[in-house]
Structure 1
């Protein structure tokens, strides 16, 4: 099986290459399963999906802006160059998911569970909110985390190395995460900001 490795995290890829998959031409019905599809363009823009499972599929340059995903499961999916600006994910489950060079600015993830390896690589996450999420199987690399907030989330074991953490909010939610020595000054800055400390 093809895998994408980010430090100690191995993520299973969909299997088939994108050009070997059927092109998704419409939104899936509530409660349905989408398997081995290529989702691209604006077919899923402003979508509202409920309890849909997407398996072994690729999202390439897909516009998922302002979409709502309730109870959606992604299983062995890769997203490349996608736009998820303002998207809302509630009760989602990610298993073996890679997001690379995607825009997640102003998106909200509520009770997202990273059940198996989830890697975010080179993604923009400006003011993205993770609320009550379980992100133990998460790894980030070279992501833009400007004012990203992890609210009441569990990041024990999450690998945050290779990212600037200086403006991350709710810094106490990072308890148990993996960081590098070089990130300690940025973490101190984030803590000062989060606690509104006055340094004299």
Structure 2
């Protein structure tokens, strides 16, 4: 069993042997045990598609629509999901690295044992995204993104860029936000209830409190 640890979070990851995978280029309703490399599904419709135990490398899924279906036990590298709409899908036990999710729209997506590393989520929209297990973002770009009504308890964010990330009606209790700049977050304090911070982030938290409470700070 392959695992990785981010902070205090242990994540189960896929363990794939490339020699056991078949090369596939066309999407079907059920893709299993496949290598899918440098394939373009740009602008396509992937509704109900399930991909299991597969490697996706350099795949272009940008501007596509994907409703229902799932990703399970997959390694995804250098994929492009820019402008894609994901709705009602499940992503479980996946390692996703160096991929682009600029402007993606995720609605009612379920995450469990998912590691995003070195990915771009700028201008992404997360709506009712829920973590049912371990989820981590490492060295990810989340600037100008929006998280609305998301349930992401115990999620870990490490060394991420969060400038102008907007949080609205989110539950992040137990989330570990250490190692990120929080100064430019667009959020009320309620969205940060129960999160873990380090001492160096307290000035950023003070700044957010002054904004949220509409305080006037004057010199004596």
TM-score bin (small chain):
over 0.9
Tell me whether 1:146 sits opposite 2:163 in the alignment: yes
CA RMSD of aligned residues (A): 1.8
Q: Which residue of 2 aligns with 1:81?
A: 98
Give the distance between the partners of 2:17 and 2:188, measured in 1 at CA. 39
Structure 2: stretches of 5+ with no match in the other structure: 22-33
SS of match in other structure, 1:62: coil
Q: Which residue of 2 aligns with 1:113?
A: 130
Q: Which residue of 2 aligns with 1:9?
A: 9
Tell me whether 1:187 sits opposite 2:199 in the alignment: no
Q: TM-score, normalised by structure 2?
A: 0.85
Give the distance between the partners of 1:94 and 1:52, measured in 2 at CA. 13
CA deviations over 1:3-47 (Å, ceiling 9, x no partner) = 110111001111116786422345674223210222232431112
The one of 83, 97, 116 aligned to 2:114: 97
Give the length in aligned residue pairs: 200
Q: TM-score, normalised by structure 1?
A: 0.93
Considering only CA atoms, is the larger Rg found in Structure 1 or Structure 2? 2
The one of 36, 45, 53 aligned to 1:36: 53
Cα offset, 1:169, TM superposition: 1.5
Q: Which residue of 2 aligns with 1:48?
A: 65
Tell me whether 1:23 sits opposite 2:35 in the alignment: yes
Q: 1:191 to 1:38 in 2, by over 3 A?
A: same
C-alpha contact 1:28 1:34 (8 A) present in aligned 2: no
Give the distance between the partners of 1:19 and 1:134, measured in 2 at CA. 38
Q: Which residue of 2 aligns with 1:160?
A: 177
CA deviations over 1:141-172 (Å, ceiling 9, x no partner) = 00000011111000111111111111111132
Q: Which residue of 2 aligns with 1:175?
A: 193
Tell me whether 1:57 sits opposite 2:74 in the alignment: yes
SS of match in other structure, 1:192: helix
Q: 1:18 to 1:175 in 2, by over 3 A?
A: farther
C-alpha contact 2:13 2:113 (8 A) present in aligned 1: yes
